Structure 1
């Protein structure tokens, strides 16, 4: 997001944090309500344009939200979305993206309150790896001809009873409401958002054999020192790296694998 939308999103996050800091708020219901609002705004292009029209008074737009949503979702959701439409947005679609982000953030708050946020992060990463290594599964989950209910049922059959309920709900929402994103991009965005809940970054670590707890701790501490933030390590095992490790943080890759060194030797010999 750029310009006004970025500022509006920052304000929305602050209101969301203040709201979810209150233990009495049913955050799971808030998440479900925000998912429903995301779907409504994604479908109704004319509505989201009205709600982001800078020529319309903010209070008038907030009153419209209250009339439309008051009987459909909880009061916390109405208040949150009303505050969002009072802000200025550079593009109407940015408002939908922001509501969608807050819906996922609410799910992460549910996991955080239950002490299971680490589990959810790991499950999202592992599910992404399963999808990447199983083309048939990816095709089934992204098939435009398949109904949303069929995709949701497939996710529940795969993850139900094996993964945290928050993970299941997040993946179901992602595959049934992709909103033009690839499945991989959606999972990556969720992983980053989960890490942001604790102001930490995500490092994807690929090694030839599983790392010991001591190795994980040393690597995590080294990366935290390097980047100035705490790190969540998503671990992947790939015998093809032939020893050593490869670490990806965002778009940056720190490659120390034996295979990479062999390629470098071969390149130099060919030169």
Structure 2
């Protein structure tokens, strides 16, 4: 988000965090309510423009939201929606995006409160990797002639019983509300939301063999010192790297694999 949308987003996120800290709220139910509003607003262009129009005062947009959603939403959900529509959004789709992101953040908040946020991240990462490395899954999710409900059922068949209900719920979000995004990009953004909640950076370690917990912790500690922020590392096993490790942190790549060294030797030999 850029321009005025950034300020509107932070105001809505602050309200969501305020309600979260207040307790006595079912965070998962609240997330579901925001997901539903996001889908409804995203599907109705006229409504989306009316609720996000930066030229309108906040109160008529809040009034419209009340008339539409008051009977459908809990009090906390309506408060967050009121804060969101009161903002000045640079693009109407930014409002839809914000409501969904708030819902995703609340699912992570519920997992964090129960002490298993890291595990939820690991589960989502496993979904991301399964889709990236299996052409059949990618093709099924990318087909325009397959209805969203069928794609959701497909994801459930693949992962139900293997990951938590929260991870499965989040894994279906990019299907139910795609908005032209690639599936893996949407899941990776969910992981980024979780990382921001913990004020950490997410790294991907690719290794030819399974690393021990101690080895993984040492790498995370070294990266934390390097970046000045906490780093949570996800591990990918890929025999093709031959040995050593390959680390990706955002756009940064730290490649200590044997394969990379062999490539360097080949390039040096070919340049002579």
TM over 0.5: yes
For residues 23 and 210 of structure 2, the distance between their equivalents in structure 1, rounded to whole angstroms, comes to 39
Report the counterpart of residue 267 of structure 2 in structure 1.
267
1:30: how far off? 0.7
Residue pairs, 1:118-157, within 5 angstroms? 118-157=118-157
For residues 203 and 210 of structure 1, the distance between their equivalents in structure 2, rounded to whole angstroms, comes to 16
Report the counterpart of residue 217 of structure 1 in structure 2.
217
- Which is further off, 19-28 or 219-228? 19-28
Equivalences, count? 271
Report the counterpart of residue 41 of structure 2 in structure 1.
41
1:175-224 deviation line (CA, Å, top 9, x unaligned): 22211100110111011111111100100000111111111111000000
Residue pairs, 1:95-174, within 5 angstroms? 95-174=95-174
For residues 249 and 115 of structure 1, the distance between their equivalents in structure 2, rounded to whole angstroms, comes to 25
The answer for unaligned runs of 5 or more in structure 1 is none
For residues 31 and 237 of structure 2, the distance between their equivalents in structure 1, rounded to whole angstroms, comes to 34
Report the counterpart of residue 17 of structure 2 in structure 1.
17
1:68: how far off? 0.3
1:140: how far off? 1.7
Report the counterpart of residue 32 of structure 1 in structure 2.
32
Given the two structures, how large is their TM-score scaled by the length of structure 2?
0.97
1:73: how far off? 1.7
Report the counterpart of residue 254 of structure 1 in structure 2.
254
1:238: how far off? 0.7
Is the 1:142–1:175 Cα contact (8 Å) retained in structure 2?
no
Is the 1:119–1:164 Cα contact (8 Å) retained in structure 2?
no
1:23: how far off? 2.0
1:227-250 deviation line (CA, Å, top 9, x unaligned): 011111110011111111110001
1:163-183 deviation line (CA, Å, top 9, x unaligned): 111101001122222111001
For residues 67 and 176 of structure 2, the distance between their equivalents in structure 1, rounded to whole angstroms, comes to 27
For residues 73 and 156 of structure 1, the distance between their equivalents in structure 2, rounded to whole angstroms, comes to 27
